[in-house]
Amino acid sequence: MKQYLNKLMTGQSLSFVEMKEASELMLSENISDSEIAAFLIALKAKGESVEEMAGLATTLKNKAHSYQRPSTGITDNCGTGGDGSQSFNISTTAAFVIAGAGEKVAKHGNRSISSKTGSADVLESLGVALDFSTDEVEELLNENGIAFLFAPYVHPKVKRIGKVRKELKLPTIFNLIGPLTNPVPLETQLIGIYRRDLLEKMAQVLKLLGRERAIVINGAGYLDEASLAGENHFVLLDKGNITKHAFHPSDVGLHVYENNEIRGGSASENAEILLQVLQGKEGPHLTTVLLNAGLSLYATGRAGSIEEGIRLARHSITSGAALKKLRFLQTYSNDRKRGMIV
C-alpha cells in the first residue's frame, strides 16, 4: 500500500490495475485501519480519476456475492445521495414503475446515510426482506422483474471500511461509487449525482465498466434525481458515445414543483408516499416519479425519448402493473418468513 500512497501524495493517479490492487489490499486483513484512512484521504485530496473509480467499483463487485445474469437487459436506477434535499425515496418508488413498464430492475440500495430514509428502510417498512439470497434474486428478477439487493448484505467484505469511513467523518470515493457497485451484471443504468461537475466523468466510468447505455443526471437544485424545480442536466452514454443534454420539466410536458414539495420523512411516512404514488395519487410526488422513471426508460432504450418514457411510466401506474410488482415482493417476503419458500 505504501507505494500507492506515495504516488497519490505526489498528485499522481493510479491506473485501473493499480487501483484494483490497492482495493484488494483495503479489503484484506493485512492492512491497518490507519492505512485505509490514509489511502482514502490521499485519494480525496488528489481527486478521484475515472480509472480509480472504475477500479474500486470492479473490485467491490468481484468481492460481493456472485450473481449470474438471470436474463438479458438488467438495469438499475440509483443516486449517490449527498444532495441534502431530504426528499422521499424517489428512485425506489420509480424502480417499481420501471419494472411495471417491462424492464428488469436489480435495485441496489442501503439504509439511510445522507437522507432521512434509505431505500432499505422504506422497503423494510413495507415488509420486503433485505437478505435475499443470490438464487432468490435471480428468481425474483425472472418471475417479477424486480429484486432488491441490500448493499451491506451483498458486500460483506466492505464492513471494515465502513467503520473507517464513519470514524473519518469525511466524504470519500465511497460517497460517489455506490451506484457503480451493483453485483448483478447490468447492461443499462440511470445514476443520479449531486455534483454537476462529475457528470461526464461518471459516464466515462460507466463506459469503462461496460454499460451499453446509461444516463447520469443532476437535477435542478443539484439533486441526485431529476427535478421538477427547473433545468436538469444529464449526459447520455450510448454505444460508447457520451453527449451532454439539458431540459426543463415544461419541455417534457410536466408541471413545475419546488424541491421542498417532495421532502420525505420517516420510513413509514415514505412508505405511505410510495404506496400513494403507485396507487396513482396526483401531485408532486407522482409527477417526480413519472419524470425519473421516464428518464430511466429512456436510458434503457425502451423509450425513444423522455416524453415517451413518461407516458410508459404513467401507464405502468394507471394499469396497476407497478403496484403489482411491489405486492409480489411483499407476498414473496412474507411467504419466505413463514417458511413457505425454501
Q: Which amino acid is at 22?
A: A
209, with CB counted inside 10 A (0-12, 13-18, 19+), is middle
What lies within 8 Å, CB to CB, of 270 at 6+ separation is 88, 89, 116, 117, 121, 122, 125, 264
Helices (H), ranges, 184-283: 199-208, 267-278
Binding residues for 5-phospho-alpha-D-ribose 1-diphosphate, by number, are 79, 82-83, 87, 89-92, 107-115, 119
Give the number of other Cβ atoms within 10 Å of residue 253's Cβ.
11
C-alpha cell at 317: 401506474
Is the separation of the CB atoms in 105 and 98 below 8 Å? yes
Mark the binding-site residues for anthranilate, compressed into ranges.
Answer: 79, 110, 165
Choose among 175, 183, 127, 195: nearest CA to 157: 183
Bind-site residues for Mg(2+): 91, 224-225
Q: Say how far apart CA 334 and CA 342 lie, in whole Å.
A: 12
Distance CA 103, CA 185 (A): 14
From the annotation, which residues make up the binding site? Answer: 79, 82-83, 87, 89-92, 107-115, 119, 165, 224-225
Q: In terms of Cα–Cα distance, which of 81, 79, 83 is closest to 221?
A: 83
